[in-house]
Amino acid sequence: MFQTDLELIRVTREPNGSYMFDYSLFDRWVRLFLSRGFSDIELMHVGRRTTPWAWTNPFEPAPRPATSSATGDTTEVPLETFLGNLQRHLVARGWVKHALLHVADEPIAENVESWRALSRRVHAAAPRLRRIEAIQAPDMDGDLEIWVVEESYLDRRYDGYRARQLAGGIELWLYTSWLPQGAYPNRLIDYPLLKTRVLPWVVMRYDASGFLHWGLNQWPSDLDPNKGLFAPGDDFIVYPGRDGPRSSLRWEAFRDGVEDQALFTLWRRRDPAAALRALREVVPTMTTYPRDPAVLLAVRQRALTALTSK
């Protein structure tokens, strides 16, 4: 899945009040990633809180600019007009089944109803676009297809989320950002690498079908990596290099965890009961995984042995 900003779509308002959409930059971006083997298009948020960083404030559509072809002035394109045109374009390109759309970031209990109202508007305008969101709220039934739950929030309310997943109709993912901290696995700079490697194990252990993280390479030109806004390494897990992104110990550890996940996926196909027992040895709960890497590596070796035996 690759992040695709909607600002890549240029909109012009004609004198008769109609809107013209230029997808040349958008298409170039999407084709680049599809040609490199990526599959899902992550369309970024169409909504926002009414005041930036006001965590409990309600949600509203984010302004979507359009340029007047007659005067050059900036106006706005209505949400429904924008999304309807976007869906038609994705259908025409054959990309709609690969597209996932964010509504507005991280709804919580205090503002979830405004989020759900906005999500219904989104769905009415573009019903073929699956909605995906990082959430910290318990109930999104009917208004969200892919529930991406913050790790510690999922831990506290897992039974309810799992019941909805088993009932069908939703995908259950988990996510990390600068939170959670403490005993929870995450990918911050000052964490032991084991806490990074074990994240894919947590995804398997809790039957999530995806993992979303912030962030990969959010590195503006004026960034001081020693003075992050929230937590060290929150915005990036790779570094800017002269010839492209440079890896990090955290990125390599996470890759090792993804390879562990691939091994366990194969093992579970061959012997589900044995693989699940081994997985639960390493991750009894989200916060009680072993702190000794040798324990994880020993279980990984058991997976390899099981897969290479007749």
User: In this structure, what CATH number is given to the domain that contains residue 85?
Assistant: 3.20.20
Q: What is the pLDDT of residues 44-71, one digit of tens each?
A: 999 999 999 899 999 999 999 999 999 9
Q: What is the pLDDT of residues 91-127, one digit of tens each?
A: 999 999 999 999 999 999 999 999 999 999 999 999 9
**Sign of torsion, CA 204 208 212 213?**
negative
Check whether 14 has a pLDDT greater than 70: yes
* Domain assignment present for 305: no
Q: What is the DSSP letter of 168?
A: S
**Listed residue (256, 213, 211, 259) closest to 235, CA to CA:** 213
List the domain range (segments joined by +) for residue 232: 2-254
The total domain count for the chain is: 1
Task: Name the percent of the chain lying above pLDDT 90.
Answer: 89
Q: What is the DSSP letter of 132?
A: E
* Domain assignment present for 302: no
* Domain assignment present for 280: no
* Domain assignment present for 191: yes
Task: Write down the pTM of the prediction.
Answer: 0.95
**Nearest-angstrom CA–CA distance, 170 and 185:** 25
Q: What is the pLDDT of residues 196-237, one digit of tens each?
A: 999 999 999 999 999 999 999 988 877 776 776 789 889 899
CA atoms within 13 A on the CB side of 136: 18
**Nearest-angstrom CA–CA distance, 123 and 184:** 34
Q: What average pLDDT score do residues 31-51 get?
A: 98
